[in-house]
Structure 1
Amino acid sequence: MIQHQVLDDFTFLENYSSSYDYEENETDFCCASPPCPQDFSLNFDRAFLPAVYGLLFLLGLLGNGAVAAILLSHRAALSSTDTFLLHLAMADALLVLTLPLWAVDAAVQWVFGSGLCKVAGALFNINFYAGALLLACISFDRYLSIVHATQIYRRGPPARVTLTCIVVWGLCLLFALPELIFLSARYDERLNATHCQYNFPKMGRTALRMLQLVAGFLLPLLVMAYCYARIIAVLLVSRGQRRLRAMRLVVVVVVAFTLCWTPYHLVVLVDTLMDLGALARNCGRESHIDVAKSVTSGLGYMHCCLNPLLYAFVAVKFRERMWMLLMRLGCANQRRQQRPPSSSYRDSSWSEITEASYSGL
């Protein structure tokens, strides 16, 4: 039986196969049974994924492009948190740039060749990991600043935050090496189509899933949960209600990350347990898992579009800087050039996060 998925769940883009083995692994025990029919999940994916990916591509590119433009327009005054948020917006924007390719793959087949298959798969995973690790970096920076009154970026060399970002991107590139090595455009006789998929056995697929779960979700989530639990406890004890309100942007961003990606990882974990034989596998369950992976992966990608909306609704300075940028571009009424009351805050950052971190307790 041939296991067939786009990026083999590791990149969240299923190629709509419920079987669970590869051509290179024909001697596995699973091969004694015929593959399950896939008509329902295939038809669902062809209708669902292109529409969702197209919408998320437009929203994610516009929203994250606006965030990057606002931050870069004030790059001389960026704090460490703002720098991390800039890299986060870049990661989200680059991730959604790959979605049109997967939309075509879902609707028809992979028509872009093996070279672009490797590049698109690696780019997707680099930016997925970068989003999670950058949120963890922001959490740790806030934790040191508020809980331990240690401002390693503000008082250290200016290049320290840049070096941290370089290390994060380097780790992400390392995690994406399997895509560059093992992904290729391959013809599937059962589907009568070419798709971008891995060319290694099932155990390699399981190892990559575990790497994704641990390095791309669990570890960053544990770092964020611990840091913000300690921060909120300190602010509550010190009665720092204003600073606690100022932390709301990052807390909301972290909560959004958790809600968007947890369902997907739970579904993939169930699928992995079925692959390993820990859970019974049958055709009905496979079909439900395939559909669940498509729906929850779309929810995960939605996180790339949510961050700019959260900034707009939660961060006062973001709205102010957005309005100033629109006026500069001639897209807003020049008569409303008066700055809103929020301009009384410091101009060191458009985000309220820095206000809480560097004002002390």
Structure 2
Amino acid sequence: MDETPFNNTNPEDESVVSNDFSTTLGALILGLVFLLGVPGNLFIVWSILARIRRRSVTTLLILNLACADGFLMALTIFFVVYLAKQTWVFGNAMCKGLFYLCNANMYASIFLITLMSVHRLVAVVFPRKARVLTSKKVVRRVILGMWVLVLLISIPSLVFRDVDIDKNEYNKTRLVCAPKHTLPRHVRFQYALETVSGFILPYTVIITSYVLILRRLRQTKFRRAVRSEKLILAIVVMFGLFWLPYHVINMIQVAAEWYEDGSDRKETLDYIANSSRAVTSALAFISSCANPVLYTFAGKSYIRQNGFAFMARLFEGTSLDQTETKKSRAGKEGTSTFESSNSAAMAALQNGK
């Protein structure tokens, strides 16, 4: 994730930390995100690890999502200091490492949400194959492979990032943690990769999954509102709303690189991207602290009865939805079989008479 594009020699690298309004707003948002996101996601992790013995696939994915979001929230304190001081004080290694970890957790979040949607698709559309495809062993391997993938795909943010010396509008020298793109194609590659692999492709899979799920539910008589369906759909919508502005700015940055230096369109696009980058990045961070709030609203009916264990009851409820559905179907099939066998027996007795 790219928080701050800088430098004086390239319009793409004009510093946003010199914009007082953007800097102040970004610091306030990130400070609030840190205060809400870190304890909120830690509470989710504690609820799942300490309160739930038998963890469903959905619960395992939510656990990984909370770990990714909580770790990302813990990093925001460095960016609050950066925006407040308007200079980078943590060194070059931290400059590269922090932005690399932010990118990795951004990818992890959207990939985990995508896996939730695909899991619901398999459970609803392919129920006979669900046990094999979504077994704990398979899911753990998929999650491990996902973490390896996000660590690899985030490498560009490690390569194209360095500490640089910059001067603000008052000619005061400061250090900035800036992207280092020596060629225009480097800019296009990094930002296009982020948006395509971290937003467009995952959301295409998510939307396709839910279209197929809704079509399947309409074809059957089973239309009971499944709790996990609503919860996962809310997570998907929340993530999209907060990350869309960030990826729009990415595409504006990419579009600017197709125009010649000094052209009016390039200058306009660069100005829009540079003046909006800090705020859209801060908004993107909000998605990682929004999930605990979302879970709290979803599980409010359990709070009075279960106290601090309400989150565990919520997640147990989402895992029971599918189980109860299968049991109820099996019960209905068993009842109909029993009734048909009884009627056949009665007919035989009558014929015997």
Confirm or deny a common fold (TM above 0.5): yes
* TM-score (structure 2 length as normaliser): 0.79
CA drift at 1:17: 6.0
Q: Please name the residue that 1:134 is paired with.
A: 112
The answer to whether the aligner puts 1:252 opposite 2:234 as a matched pair is yes
Q: Please name the residue that 1:81 is paired with.
A: 58
Q: Which runs of 5+ in 1 are unaligned?
A: 1-10, 24-34, 327-341
Identify the match of residue 187 of structure 1 among 134, 144, 165: 165
Q: C-alpha distance in 2, partners of 1:126/1:39?
A: 23
Q: Which has the larger radius of gyration?
A: 2
CA drift at 1:116: 1.2
Q: What secondary structure does 1:242 align onto?
A: coil
Q: C-alpha distance in 2, partners of 1:274/1:22?
A: 9
Deviates more, 1:75-84 or 1:192-201: 192-201
Q: C-alpha distance in 2, partners of 1:211/1:318?
A: 42
5 Å matches for 1:194-209?
A: 194-201=175-182, 202-209=184-191
5 Å matches for 1:90-109?
A: 90-108=67-85, 109=87
1:244–1:114: structure 2 CA closer, same or farther, 3 Å change rule? same
The answer to whether the aligner puts 1:305 opposite 2:289 as a matched pair is yes
The answer to whether the aligner puts 1:292 opposite 2:276 as a matched pair is yes
Whether contact under 8 Å (2:4, 2:177) holds in the other structure is no
| Cα-to-partner distance string for 1:215-272 (whole Å, 9 max, x where unaligned) | 1101110111111111122223323332445511111111111111112212221232
Whether contact under 8 Å (1:121, 1:180) holds in the other structure is yes
Q: What secondary structure does 1:95 align onto?
A: helix
CA drift at 1:281: 2.6
Q: C-alpha distance in 2, partners of 1:194/1:40?
A: 11
The answer to whether the aligner puts 1:240 opposite 2:222 as a matched pair is yes
Q: Please name the residue that 2:347 is paired with.
A: none
Q: Please name the residue that 2:4 is paired with.
A: 14
| Cα-to-partner distance string for 1:300-323 (whole Å, 9 max, x where unaligned) | 211111111111112468758972
5 Å matches for 1:150-161?
A: 150=128, 152=130, 158-161=136-139
Q: Please name the residue that 2:265 is paired with.
A: 281
CA drift at 1:19: 7.0
Q: What secondary structure does 2:159 align onto?
A: helix
1:169–1:309: structure 2 CA closer, same or farther, 3 Å change rule? same
Whether contact under 8 Å (2:5, 2:12) holds in the other structure is no
Q: Please name the residue that 2:31 is paired with.
A: 54
Q: C-alpha distance in 2, partners of 1:40/1:159?
A: 47
Tell me the amino acid that sits aligned with residue 192 of structure 1: T
Tell me the amino acid that sits aligned with residue 142 of structure 2: T
Q: C-alpha distance in 2, partners of 1:192/1:267?
A: 27
Q: Please name the residue that 1:359 is paired with.
A: 325
Deviates more, 1:180-189 or 1:203-212: 180-189
Q: Please name the residue that 1:178 is paired with.
A: 156
1:275–1:240: structure 2 CA closer, same or farther, 3 Å change rule? same
Q: C-alpha distance in 2, partners of 1:284/1:88?
A: 37
Tell me the amino acid that sits aligned with residue 28 of structure 2: A
Q: What secondary structure does 1:268 align onto?
A: helix
1:154–1:325: structure 2 CA closer, same or farther, 3 Å change rule? farther
CA drift at 1:351: 4.4
| Cα-to-partner distance string for 1:179-209 (whole Å, 9 max, x where unaligned) | 3334222222466211112333232122010
Whether contact under 8 Å (2:57, 2:136) holds in the other structure is no
Q: C-alpha distance in 1, partners of 2:163/2:16?
A: 22
Q: Please name the residue that 1:43 is paired with.
A: 20
CA drift at 1:290: 2.9
Of structures 1 and 2, the one with the larger relative CO (CA 8 A, separation 6+) is 2
Whether contact under 8 Å (2:259, 2:266) holds in the other structure is no
Q: C-alpha distance in 1, partners of 2:24/2:314?
A: 47
Q: C-alpha distance in 2, partners of 1:188/1:214?
A: 31
Q: Please name the residue that 1:222 is paired with.
A: 204
Q: Please name the residue that 1:148 is paired with.
A: 126
Q: C-alpha distance in 2, partners of 1:187/1:357?
A: 59
| Cα-to-partner distance string for 1:18-75 (whole Å, 9 max, x where unaligned) | 974589xxxxxxxxxxx8xx79961123311111111111111111111111111134
CA drift at 1:95: 1.1
* TM-score (structure 1 length as normaliser): 0.78
Q: Which runs of 5+ in 2 are unaligned?
A: 330-353
More helix by share: 2
1:324–1:188: structure 2 CA closer, same or farther, 3 Å change rule? closer
Whether contact under 8 Å (1:44, 1:291) holds in the other structure is no
- What is the Cα-based RMSD across aligned positions, in Å? 3.2
Deviates more, 1:54-63 or 1:350-359: 350-359
Q: Please name the residue that 1:118 is paired with.
A: 96
Deviates more, 1:73-82 or 1:166-175: 73-82
